[in-house]
A and B are shown apart, each in its own frame.
Chain A
Amino acid sequence: MEADGKQGQEGSPELSLRPLDLSDIDDFMVWATDDKVSRFCTWDTYTSKEAGIDYIKNIVIPHPWFKAICLDNKAIGAISVSANNGNDRCRGELGYALASKYWGKGIVTRAVKMVASTIFNEWPHLERLEALVDVENGGSQRVLEKVGFHREGVLRKFCILKGRCRDMVIYSLLSTDPQP
């Protein structure tokens, strides 16, 4: 069926992942300026285009794995995998954000499946793809569960998000787990 996750049904827009670049800045600002989107993210809602441009130049472009989630090649969100060094090189952390008007349509689930099906081939040293989700972020927990991530536990008061110490659910998908 959807081997590459591109089309849900006949006639529906094509979903793809590609690098995010400066020409996407206006589309980036759509989700980056939305409090609903930034709510559970480590970044604060963007308030200026300059800050958005700096972010794309300094963080996104040099990033080891950062893609725009695109519908008909228009960026509507982003998905990334962070790399670790030394003894921790076996694991990478997944992160994603999607413009709120596109929530609830299974788009992030499809994007995460696409990442899960290629990242272990692109990074042969990667054994574990993990994700940390705020306990109150039910939508994001459902995405990971639908893709087949294992819920390993709740890490109490694990990190500070928007000035508060949060309980985070930790999920993992191993290279040896059945691929989604």
Chain B
Amino acid sequence: MDSGTVTLRPFRVSDVDDFILWAGDDQVTRNIRWKTITSKEEALTFIKEVCIPHPWRRSICIDDRSIGFVSVYRWSGNEICKADIAYGIAAKYWGQGITTKAVKMAVSEVFKDFPDLVRLQAFAAVENKASQRVLEKAGFTKEGLLRKYTFLKGQLKDLVIYSFLSTDITVAVDDKLL
């Protein structure tokens, strides 16, 4: 059965009701820094003040309805060659290849939007096997395990680090990953 068209687009204030469905779910926010959204007001504020002005954040949509997000954060100074990518989707859409599809689309868009970007990196908690599979299927290279790297929601985490380089794009296109 067709899951519907997966697209990326900027967030809209009108996404608020769909937004709460996934951003209000602890399962979805567990491994990201976002606090779980607890009201429509909070959701509206967050969409207007954070998601929309963000330098690079997209809503992951099915049939133009928001089911998740993907964000890219660029570093500066002597780290300007790299950016971090993060993502999350509603739990009911897990395990269907949707996040992988969305991440592949985001990678392609980001290297076009930032032609001077050299490295896109992603971190996945060591126990978050599903997210690691997304990155591997999307063509990221696993580089290593960073032990006790950071606190996430009060817990000290071991994180697996992945990267996708601008030079990996040609390889991925040849291998028909993108």
Is the beta-carbon distance between A161 and B82 smaller than 8 angstroms?
A: no
Partner of B145 from A88, A128, A152, A165 at Cβ < 8 Å: A152
CB within 8 A of A91: which of B119, B149, B152? B149
Q: How many contacts between A and B, using CB within 8 angstroms?
A: 73
Asked if A158 CB lies within 8 Å of chain B CBs, one says yes
Q: Which among B141, B147, B152 is the interface contact of A152 at CB below 8 angstroms? A: B147
Number of B residues near A (Cβ < 8 Å) is 24
Residues of chain B in range 108-142 having any CB-CB distance to chain A below 8 Å: 118-119, 121, 141
Main secondary structure of the interface of A (DSSP, over half): strand
A86 to chain B: which residues have CB within 8 Å? 151
Given A150-B147, A156-B143, A165-B118, residue A90 in contact with residue B78 (CB < 8 A):
no
Q: Which residues of B contact A174 (CB under 8 A)?
A: 147-148
Within 8 Å of chain B (Cβ to Cβ): is A1?
A: no
Q: For chain A, give the interface size range.
A: 20 to 34
**Is there an interface contact between B151 and A90, defined as CB atoms closer than 8 Å?**
yes
B residues at A contact (CB < 8 Å): 33, 78-82, 118-119, 121, 141, 143-152, 156, 161, 163, 165
Q: A87-B152, A157-B118, A172-B146 are in contact. List 8 more A-B contacts (CB 8 A).
A: A42-B78, A130-B146, A153-B144, A154-B143, A159-B79, A170-B144, A172-B148, A174-B148
